[in-house]
Amino acid sequence: MEHTDTIGKILFTQEQIWRRAEELGQEISEDYAGEQVVLIGTLKGAVPFMADLMKNISLDVEIDFVAASSYGSGTESSGEVILKHDITLDLTDKHVILVEDIIDTGNTIKALKAYLQKRGPKSVSICTLLDKPARRKVDVKGDYIGFVVEDLFIVGYGLDFNQKYRNLPYISYLEG
């Protein structure tokens, strides 16, 4: 396949991602047994991982999506997060699991968690496909983490560079 940018080595294959989603799905199913759970995916990056994760949860879950973007210079997000698409479900007395593609500075997930906590849920936890702790700016942690990555610009499996490469069926990074 030809790409405009140079894509690096494959860090995680589709099979490895699916197997991790199986493990996380099982953990979530045990942790929330007998509870009402809403999975809230962040558009657009979390879509492929959300699809894998939800199929591995053996509870009656509801799903919804939010889209957030943050002001910031270039490649780094800021604390100011704007909601572009809101959830449609009522979260009152339900357990919310926010499903993210990657936690980088942590700004986006921290703001989203605070926002969802105002909607009356029993709890809000975070499940992220990737964690890049080297770049963390705010104190926020994933409760369920797929894989920890180094300080690389990750693409594939939902993650984009200028809206491209979300469709790659593996996780890689941009060389350069």
Known catalytic residues are 104
Q: Which is nearer to ligand IMP, 31 or 160 (CB)?
A: 160
**Interaction between residue 154 and ligand IMP (CB under 6 A):** yes
Q: Which is nearer to ligand IMP, 94 or 110 (CB)?
A: 110
Among 39, 54, 91, 105, binds ligand IMP (CB under 6 A): 105
Burial of 67-94, coded b for 16+ CB within 10 Å and e otherwise, reads: ebeeeeeeeebeeebeeeeebeeebeeb
- Of 115, 103, 6, 100, nearest in space to 53 by CA: 100
Burial class (CB in 10 A: 0-12, 13-18, 19+), 136: middle
Asked if residues 172 and 5 have their Cβ atoms less than 8 Å apart, the reply is no
154 strand-pairing partners: 173
Q: Which is nearer to ligand IMP, 59 or 81 (CB)?
A: 81
Contact mark string toward Mg ion, 37..76, x via CB under 5 A: --------x-------------------------------
Among 48, 59, 77, 156, binds ligand IMP (CB under 6 A): 77
**Interaction between residue 56 and ligand IMP (CB under 6 A):** no
> What does 66 bind: ligand IMP, Mg ion, none (CB cut-off 5 to 8 Å by kind)?
none
- Half-sphere exposure of 170 toward its Cβ, with a 13 Å CA cutoff? 11
Burial class (CB in 10 A: 0-12, 13-18, 19+), 146: buried
Please choose, out of 1-9, 10-18, 90-98, 151-159, the segment that lies near ligand IMP by the rule CB under 6 A.
151-159
Query: Residue numbers of the site for ligand IMP (CB under 6 A)?
Result: 45, 70, 77, 100-109, 153-154, 159-160
